[in-house]
Amino acid sequence: MYKRIIFHVDVNSAFLSWEAVYRKEVLGETLDLRTIPSAVGGDISKRHGIILAKSTPAKKYNIQTGEPILKALQKCPDLVLVPPNHDLYEQCSKSLKDLLFRYTPCIEPFSIDEAFLDMTGACNGYKSPNDLAEQIRERVKKELGFTVNIGISTNKLLAKMASDFRKPDMVHTLYPEEIPAKMWPLPLEELYFVGKASSKVLHGLGLETIGDIAKMDLNILKAHLGNKHGQMIYNNSQGIDESVVESTSAANKGYGNSTTLSQDVIDFETANLILLDLSETVSSRLRADGMKCTCITVEVTDCDFNHQTHQTTLLSPTNTTNVIHQTACKLLKEFWSGAPLRLLGVRTTKLTKGEFTQLNLFDLLKDERHEKLDKALDNIRNRFGTDAIKRASFMDSDKD
DNA sequence: TGTTGAATCCCAC
DNA sequence: CTAACGGTGGGATTCAACA
């Protein structure tokens, strides 16, 4: 038998499925978004216009997750778009994980819609791992109303690759002996950790499939992809992965907040207010987790999509809005070329444990003193859309 | 020679 | 005809400064 049995559970078209279930079950809508070309997408009027999830019928029009909504509408003019509801997705994600937890405590949530499960012990009493996976798949569908793919293998990498095989609502295995038949014929961009840059390099070497990578000399891969990355891709192509399912989540290494502005920003006064908004979010998250940061980075994207960062290391750790904001302003002043800004971001790293803070009378008084500032911030949020959680209204801006 | 910090690049979801 | 274009977080690489 195998040393380990790992499942990878992946919700099919997560945001769209969850949206469809909610609209059907809670709002009582008769139309099921999953049966028509539809997608969850951002607010075009705020320049957050990308596809976040698409239905299976939309997939037939070659609509890709992450692509601009305008491009998707060109491919399918009748595409039904709905705005995202992240609170709903968090709830759905939790429901799924609660259900999975009944099968094993050894769960590693990998993203809002994916999880690894170490099922090595949990398969006892079942005919096969496949049998258990099918049962979980059915139960999620019956109790939660959406479908999942489950990949089964002896490590996380292979389980993940397996869950990506035919969708939706399916269980697949990819055991080591199945690698040549099931994984090696796939186009190399489907290998985990082969992104845009790596696939270009690999195609340049004349490779097309994952199997082509597997047959390559490790040192050639390292020379062209870098030492670590080359080794990683080589290992992945061979199905080698010894990493364990981590059921306890590791602490964050950084906290950041960035936003694409609904209009380009051309002056410091506005930019600094947006930096205040971003700094406030970041610092309150630091405080909520009892952390302080020693490194602050400001990130900008200009109107031509040029991306730049500028960072500084502080003399002592902080988690106050003020220090983070002042530092961010100083950084922006030091490196902004003056080109109109499309995106602004604040990121904090080099974290240390701080003290948990509580809102006290002083904080409340301070808040009152800042009433005028808050009004200015609200004004900026309205004009530049930094308050991303607000209702999405891009349907209004649709030209008839 | 090795280390550190800053900037950039790459990747996943 | 092309362009259109999020947010968050982890990690590696490169380069310069420096010990």
Pairwise CA distance, residues A298 & A275, whole Å: 9
Question: Does strand B come within 7 Å of the CB of A193?
Answer: yes
Residue nearest to nucleotide B13 (CA to C1'): A111
Question: Does strand B come within 7 Å of the CB of A203?
Answer: no
CATH 1.10.150.20, domain A183-238, yes or no: yes
Q: Give the pLDDT score at A127.
A: 96
Q: CA-to-C1' distance for A196 and B10, Å?
A: 9
Q: CA-to-C1' distance for A99 and B11, Å?
A: 30
Q: Which nucleotides of C are covered by protein (CB under 7 A)?
A: 3-14
Superfamily of domain A254-384: DNA polymerase, Y-family, little finger domain (3.30.1490.100)
Catalytically active residues of A, by annotation: 114
Residue type, A353: K
Q: Which part of chain A has CATH 3.30.1490.100?
A: 254-384
Q: CA-to-C1' distance for A256 and C10, Å?
A: 13
Question: Does strand B come within 7 Å of the CB of A114?
Answer: yes
Q: What is the pTM of this model?
A: 0.92
Q: Which nucleotides of B are covered by protein (CB under 7 A)?
A: 5-13
pLDDT digits (tens), chain A, 400 positions = 899 999 999 999 999 999 999 999 999 999 999 999 999 999 999 999 999 999 999 999 999 999 999 999 999 999 999 999 999 999 999 999 999 999 999 999 999 999 999 999 999 999 999 999 999 999 999 999 999 999 999 999 999 999 999 999 999 999 999 999 999 999 999 999 999 999 999 999 999 999 999 999 999 999 999 999 999 999 999 999 999 999 999 999 999 999 999 999 999 999 999 999 999 999 999 999 999 999 999 999 999 999 999 999 999 999 999 999 999 999 999 999 999 999 999 999 999 998 765 555 555 555 555 667 778 888 888 888 776 433 333 323 322 2
Residue nearest to nucleotide C13 (CA to C1'): A226
Q: CA-to-C1' distance for A257 and C4, Å?
A: 24
Nucleotide nearest the Cα atom of A110 (by C1'): B13
Q: Give the pLDDT score at A354.
A: 82
Helices (H), chain A: 14-21, 56-59, 69-75, 86-101, 129-144, 156-163, 179-182, 196-204, 210-215, 218-225, 227-238, 268-288, 321-335, 361-369, 371-384
Q: Give the pLDDT score at A368.
A: 59
DSSP output for A176-207: GGGHHHHTTTSBGGGSTT--HHHHHHHHHTT-
Q: CA-to-C1' distance for A147 and B8, Å?
A: 40
Question: Does strand B come within 7 Å of the CB of A136?
Answer: no
Burial class for A78, CB neighbours closer than 10 Å (0-12, 13-18, 19+) = exposed
Nucleotide nearest the Cα atom of A189 (by C1'): B11
Cβ–Cβ under 8 Å, residues A29 and A41: no
CATH 3.40.1280.10, domain A1-174, yes or no: no
Q: Which part of chain A has CATH 1.10.150.20?
A: 183-238
Looking up tokens 């499942």 gives A7
Nucleotide nearest the Cα atom of A335 (by C1'): B7
Q: Which part of chain A has CATH 3.30.70.270?
A: 1-174
- Distance (Å) of CA A118 to CA A7, A179, A220: 6, 20, 34
Question: Does strand B come within 7 Å of the CB of A284?
Answer: no
